[in-house]
């Protein structure tokens, strides 16, 4: 068999009949030897058939006259610009090499034995080689247990009616669309699917293309803890959720006693084990435990029940002394509830607090009022807890400056 380029013929060519009619010899008399040779060609040359390389091949047919096969068969391809390819052989299959993808070819057959060469057969129907079926990529290349998402298989030679198979169990496929270069499927992965690399196969009348290890089933994502694990009513701050299998583009939803807890700006780190979000707790949110649910782009999910707690905001009742003069430095005591270690105290422009001690109900500090501070009564003083204490913040108009 002649060597073959990577060219594939479409399915309709599989039944292309090539017939050879018994003939008279050149001098016009019936020649039994030539007649038998041509008859054998008719038996062997039954169809024009595809090979995996897209070449024209004679379909193997049993030879009823093995003792008198003494000649050879020649196939010739014709094309206005790229024809002339031939192949010769005494037995089927015979392959015609050198065909060009996209060109339409017709084929004729001649038979030759010791008595001479018979006339060419009538041309076959037109056969158009197409690209061989192959897979170049699978996107995305991994899906988690519980996933339900779109997968695009890119390659060449895909035909209508293509079938996709992913061996290994636990995977349900739905074919969405097929083009010559892409097959789109929806893949639903069972929560019990065994993690690991899978082969993806695409089959059609053009053949079968395997892609070993092109899709990996990963364990379902998990969500275990939050840091900080509580936020105060009215607070806004960054929270880091820890887990595994967290994918870029994941979304986060927090549910619980009220709808006043929202998230924004998710950012998954490269290893998928942390998820940083900004959490905003509305002023009217209800205190209590909230559940956090992460949904990956492949629709796999992880939920952490009670992972986040909304706590009461701090309160500020008074500052003592409550009235100070400009250009002074004064020890002060701030009273309230919910103060935490690391809390900061701020005042209006020109007023600086240096914290000395903190308890849950009292902050002692040194207050410095510059000569440029604005005079006024009921001036606001703000206490802000740090991240570990839930970003609680309170402002009260408790200070007078003279």
Q: Among the CATH numbers 2.40.30.10, 2.60.40.10, 3.30.70.3340, 3.40.50.1470, which is that of 134-218?
A: 2.60.40.10
Asked if residue 202 has pLDDT above 90, the reply is yes
Q: Among the CATH numbers 1.50.10.100, 1.10.540.10, 1.20.1250.20, 2.60.40.1220, which is that of 222-311?
A: 2.60.40.1220
Average pLDDT over residues 102-111: 75
User: What class is the 11-117 domain?
Assistant: mainly beta
Which of 10-19, 294-303, 390-399 is predicted least confidently? 10-19
Average pLDDT over residues 221-241: 95
Residues 305-316 pLDDT 10s: 999 999 999 999
The pLDDT value recorded for residue 113 is 62
**DSSP β-ladder status, 323-324 and 393-401:** parallel
pLDDT band at 23 (very low <50, low <70, confident <90, very high): very low
pLDDT band at 4 (very low <50, low <70, confident <90, very high): very low
For residue 334, give the nearest of 292, 387, 245, 395 by alpha carbon.
Answer: 395
Q: Specify the higher pLDDT residue, 111 or 397.
A: 397
**Topology, domain 315-401:** Immunoglobulin-like (2.60.40)
Average pLDDT over residues 8-26: 31
Which of 99-113, 132-146, 269-283, 388-402 is predicted least confidently? 99-113
The pLDDT value recorded for residue 101 is 73
pLDDT cut 70: percent of the chain above it: 76
Q: Which pair of tokens denotes residue 282?
A: 């509305």
Q: What pTM was estimated for this model as a whole?
A: 0.68
The pLDDT value recorded for residue 368 is 97
List the domain boundaries for the chain.
Answer: 11-117, 134-218, 222-311, 315-401
Q: Which pair of tokens denotes residue 4?
A: 């073959």
Are the C-beta atoms of residues 137 and 182 closer than 8 Å to each other?
no
pLDDT band at 400 (very low <50, low <70, confident <90, very high): very high
Residues 6+ away with beta carbon under 8 Å from 6:
53, 54, 131, 132
The pLDDT value recorded for residue 384 is 97
The pLDDT value recorded for residue 367 is 97
Residues 48-59 pLDDT 10s: 333 333 344 444
Asked if residue 3 has pLDDT above 70, the reply is no
Asked if residue 18 has pLDDT above 80, the reply is no
For residue 262, give the nearest of 300, 292, 302, 219 by alpha carbon.
Answer: 292
For residue 206, give the nearest of 296, 129, 153 by alpha carbon.
Answer: 129
Q: Specify the higher pLDDT residue, 73 or 3.
A: 73
Which of 90-94, 104-108, 228-232, 241-245 is predicted least confidently? 90-94
Cis bond upstream, residue 343 (ω within 30)? no
How open is the CA angle 378-381-387, to the nearest 5 degrees? 155
Asked if residue 62 has pLDDT above 80, the reply is no
Residues 135-163 pLDDT 10s: 999 999 999 999 999 999 999 889 888 99
The pLDDT value recorded for residue 107 is 75
pLDDT band at 61 (very low <50, low <70, confident <90, very high): very low
Q: Residue 235 and residue 343: Cα distance in Å, rounded?
A: 14
């Amino acid at each position: 068999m002649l060597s073959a380029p990577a060219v594939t013929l479409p399915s309709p060519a599989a039944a292309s009949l090539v017939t050879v009619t018994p003939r008279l010899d050149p001098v016009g008399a019936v020649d039994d030897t030539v007649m038998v040779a041509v008859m054998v060609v008719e038996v062997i040359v039954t169809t024009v058939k595809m090979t995996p390389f897209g070449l024209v091949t004679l379909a193997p047919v049993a030879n009823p006259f093995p003792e008198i096969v003494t000649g050879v068969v020649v196939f010739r391809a014709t094309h206005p610009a790229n024809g002339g390819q031939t192949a010769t052989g005494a037995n089927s299959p015979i392959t015609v090499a050198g065909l060009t993808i996209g060109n339409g070819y017709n084929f004729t057959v001649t038979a030759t034995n010791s008595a001479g060469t018979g006339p060419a057969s009538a041309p076959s129907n037109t056969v158009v080689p197409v690209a061989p079926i192959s897979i170049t990529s699978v996107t995305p290349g991994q899906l988690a247990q519980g996933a339900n998402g779109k997968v695009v298989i890119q390659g060449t030679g895909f035909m209508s009616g293509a079938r996709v198979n992913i061996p290994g169990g636990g995977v349900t496929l739905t074919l969405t669309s097929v083009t010559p270069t892409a097959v789109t499927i929806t893949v639903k992965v069972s929560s019990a699917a065994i993690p690991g690399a899978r082969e993806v196969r695409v089959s059609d009348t053009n053949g079968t293309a395997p892609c070993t290890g092109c899709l990996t089933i990963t364990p379902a994502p998990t969500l275990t803890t939050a840091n900080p694990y509580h936020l105060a009513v009215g607070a806004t701050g960054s929270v880091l959720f820890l887990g595994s299998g967290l994918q870029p583009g994941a979304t986060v939803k927090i549910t619980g006693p009220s709808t006043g807890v929202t998230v924004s700006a998710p950012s998954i780190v490269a290893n998928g084990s942390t998820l940083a979000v900004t959490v905003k707790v509305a002023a009217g949110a209800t205190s209590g435990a909230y559940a956090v649910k992460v949904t990956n782009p492949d629709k796999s999910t992880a939920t952490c029940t009670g992972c986040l707690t909304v706590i009461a905001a701090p309160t500020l009742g008074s500052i003592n002394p409550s009235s100070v003069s400009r250009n002074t430095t004064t020890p002060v005591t701030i009273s309230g509830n919910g103060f935490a270690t690391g809390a900061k105290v701020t005042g209006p422009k020109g007023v600086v607090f240096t914290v000395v001690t903190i308890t849950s109900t009292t902050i002692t500090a040194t207050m410095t009022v510059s000569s440029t501070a604005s005079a006024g009564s009921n001036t606001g003083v703000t206490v802000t807890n740090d991240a570990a204490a839930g970003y609680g913040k309170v402002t009260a108009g408790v200070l007078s400056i003279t």
